[in-house]
Structure 1
Amino acid sequence: MKRLLILLLSVWSFSAQASPALPGDIIADLNALQSQLQEGELSSVVERATAQAERLASGNQSDQWASALYQQLAAGALARQDQPAAAADRLAIARGLDGVDSAQAARWLREEASLRRAADQHDQVIELLREWLTNQQDIDTTWQLIRLLAQQEHWEEAADWLEQALDETPELNEAQQTLALAVYRNAGQGDQALGWLLDGLSAQSDAADWRQAAGLAQQAGQAGVAAGLWETAWQLGKLTEQEDFWLLIQLHLAGGTPARAAEHLERALNEGDIVRDETHQRLLANAWRQAKDVEKALNAWKALALHTQTAADWRAYGQLAYAWGEDEQAKQAFARASSLGDKEAEQWLVSFN
């Protein structure tokens, strides 16, 4: 607020030369009010500046320029009294008066936007920044507008402005990257977000970037891409926790690469990273079955049946062997299931007689 007040105090004298000439008594009065403002006589400044502004508002261009400057002084005093909304209203009046050149009106528009932001008048700030950007190329203001639109959940418009911002911003900082991803996701443009994020991924990217990319791929319905990203990050050593391993398995199974899931499971079982229990062996058997690797799938199902010694698992092993033309294995599996009391397996055995 202090910086804004300095701007409000200084603008009129610098811009006066490009605007309609002012009578000497008006200049003297403005200078006197500015001195009072600097000395903290805020109420007096608001009262006097308001009266003068209203008196001169309907006059010629010179009068209206003076009226605008009085409104600016009133705005300065109101801002100093922690009344940013009222101060912004005065600048809105000032920049709409005849006699105010476009450059000065633009400066007051920016200052009004800052005041309305301080007053939490976000919708008005958005309107002001839109107006500013229709006449100015200002990348910092574009990012401000995107952030405000996101805060107000105007996602589609935020995405439109984001396209322009990305074209004009060579390298995004962390805050801009986070904002861009949030806008794309919430605007329903997951593919664009993913493509943009993938362009920036490298071996130097941290784990959070890889996780975010994989998450976006899942949201976009690209399970295979998600699995590939997680696999790459795993191989690069970016993801090392046990929950990362299990998500890797799930992503491969969902993404159409079950053989990679099975290979990871088999390696983890052989190296003792996971316990060789029923749950893990069943997951391995199903992964090889899904991958349609006949030899490995049958071996895994046989190992599972030997571990559990349940009729259901022997029968499932037999059915899989039968489906793949491995009749001898199927017959042995059904016989074992039958010996454990499985009636359905007995019916399967009939087909071999």
Structure 2
Amino acid sequence: MPVLMSMFMPMTTSASAMRRVLAALLFTAIAVAAPCLAAPALPGGILRDIESIEQDLEAADGSGDIRALEARALSQAERLAGGNAADRWARALYLQLASEAAVHRKAYVEAAEHIAKARAVRGIGTDMRAHWQHREASLRLGGGQQARGADLLSDWLGEHPGDVADYWQLAGAQARLERWEAAKGSVSAGLARDDSPSDAHLMLAASIYQQSGEDDKALRMLERLLARAPENPDTWRRAAGLAQRLGQHAHAAALWEAGWRQGVLEGEAALERRIRLHLAAGTPARAAELLKAALEQGRLGDSLAHRRLLATAYQQARVRPSALEAWRRVAEQSGEAEDWLYIGQLAARWGKDAPAREALSRAQSLGSEQASAWLSYLDQHPVATQ
């Protein structure tokens, strides 16, 4: 016996038929089954017609057949409008059949309209009405009516426990509507009920938490995702970016290192960011080591910007000889008075009199008035060699 018939068979059926009804009802929610069994008894002709439409729908293999069955169900529903309780119940069942026919041809909005009419039939039990509201919500979401579908599903979940799929579906709809606070609540409810959320759900949760200002929670979602699906470089980039935005620079550098070592992050841009993250994380010696090797091996272009970065890394790492040498190479490459002036000031501060005077003299020759003032000062106050 088709499932639809078994759900709605009245109490007047034979004992053998009732056994089949009860067996089928084991696969449906108790909240829906109880009112269905108490539904008005339907005439045998109506029951046979409903069963015939359902069987034909299951066997239909073309859109023309499906449309014809949908039209037949709608015609019967229209004929029964305004009748007695049994007629109204039969009308609701025909409307559900029409809805399922529309689903077969992927016309989800039309399917939702049919089920909405079934839900609105006078005298339908509260539990059945709620069951159809849940169905309508899913159909409207499937048909792109995000706002209406989300409102229906949210209202339904406000009165029914739902399952984990309901909360994820609602969260996705609310995210598409940019209702971030509401989506955050739905995601939290979904996570509380889901021991092993899918990769897509973890990514959805990360996006919603990030959009609602919960960067720490977003980062945790991404890290859970990376632990089992580390192959997406964008996820590594996003996780490191979130850690950096949270001020967790060492964490950001560690994430980038992990992605790099697994071969997911690669190329010049990724290498340069790796170096800069080490600088931000307070490990400039490691940054200098990586950058020096990259320049020597030709993995990064020997540009003025990269030379400045190397000099900065050595300076932050307090490797003074290497820092002065690196800055000297920057000044020679740029030919700018300001770079020579900076070297002179740095060398003077570090107690390197000869390098300081040499650099300041180069800056002076390039027109730096500050360099002249510095040289005069050093003549009067010689630097104590350190």
Structure 2 length normalisation: TM-score? 0.74
| Selected match of 2:47 from 27, 31, 35 | 31
2:119, 2:129 within 8 Å by CA — same for their partners in 1?
Answer: no
| Selected match of 2:37 from 19, 25, 47 | 19
SS in structure 2 at match of 1:54: coil
Q: Does 1:352 align with 2:368?
A: no
Counterparts of 1:323-342 in structure 2, within 5 Å, are 323-340=349-366, 342=368
Structure 1 counterpart of 2:47, one-letter code: N
2:253, 2:274 within 8 Å by CA — same for their partners in 1?
Answer: yes
Residue by residue over 1:12-64, the C-alpha shift from the partner in whole angstroms, topping out at 9 and shown as x without a partner, is 225589633645xx4224215415645656545434433434222xxxxxx2x
SS in structure 2 at match of 1:352: helix
**Corresponding residue for 2:331?**
305
| Selected match of 1:138 from 151, 160, 163 | 163
Counterparts of 1:262-277 in structure 2, within 5 Å, are 262-277=288-303
Change (3 A) 1:8 1:145: farther
2:76, 2:94 within 8 Å by CA — same for their partners in 1?
Answer: no
Q: Choose 242-251 or 267-276, whichever is displaced more.
A: 267-276
Q: Does 1:250 align with 2:276?
A: yes
Structure 2 counterpart of 1:31, one-letter code: L
1:203, 1:236 within 8 Å by CA — same for their partners in 2?
Answer: no
SS in structure 2 at match of 1:34: helix
Change (3 A) 1:211 1:7: farther
| Selected match of 1:177 from 202, 208, 227 | 202
Change (3 A) 1:193 1:325: same
Q: C-alpha distance in 2, partners of 1:148/1:21? A: 34
Change (3 A) 1:126 1:202: closer
Runs of at least 5 residues in structure 1 that lack an aligned partner in the other structure: 1-5, 57-62
**Corresponding residue for 1:60?**
none
**Corresponding residue for 2:144?**
120
SS in structure 2 at match of 1:283: helix
Counterparts of 1:149-228 in structure 2, within 5 Å, are 149-202=174-227, 205-208=230-233, 209-220=235-246, 222-228=248-254
1:88, 1:116 within 8 Å by CA — same for their partners in 2?
Answer: no
Alignment length (residue pairs): 336
Q: Choose 262-271 or 153-162, whichever is displaced more.
A: 262-271
Counterparts of 1:48-63 in structure 2, within 5 Å, are 48-56=76-84, 63=85
Q: Choose 38-47 or 84-93, whichever is displaced more.
A: 38-47
Q: C-alpha distance in 2, partners of 1:283/1:46? A: 73
- Find runs of 4+ consecutive structure 1 residues off by over 6 angstroms: none
1:88, 1:115 within 8 Å by CA — same for their partners in 2?
Answer: no
Q: Does 1:91 align with 2:91?
A: no
RMSD over aligned CA atoms reads 3.2
What is the CA distance between 1:193 and its match in structure 2? 0.6
Counterparts of 1:44-83 in structure 2, within 5 Å, are 45-56=73-84, 63=85, 67-77=88-98, 80=101, 83=110
Identity fraction in percent: 32
Change (3 A) 1:243 1:120: closer
**Corresponding residue for 2:286?**
260
What is the CA distance between 1:213 and its match in structure 2? 1.0
Which structure's relative contact order is higher, taking Cα pairs within 8 Å and 6+ residues apart? 1
Change (3 A) 1:122 1:72: farther
1:318, 1:334 within 8 Å by CA — same for their partners in 2?
Answer: yes
1:91, 1:109 within 8 Å by CA — same for their partners in 2?
Answer: no
Q: C-alpha distance in 1, partners of 2:170/2:146? A: 10
Change (3 A) 1:216 1:91: farther
Structure 2 counterpart of 1:213, one-letter code: A
Residue by residue over 1:180-227, the C-alpha shift from the partner in whole angstroms, topping out at 9 and shown as x without a partner, is 222122222222111232345449722523223113224445444323
Structure 2 counterpart of 1:49, one-letter code: A
Q: Choose 243-252 or 338-347, whichever is displaced more.
A: 338-347
1:217, 1:225 within 8 Å by CA — same for their partners in 2?
Answer: yes
1:49, 1:70 within 8 Å by CA — same for their partners in 2?
Answer: yes
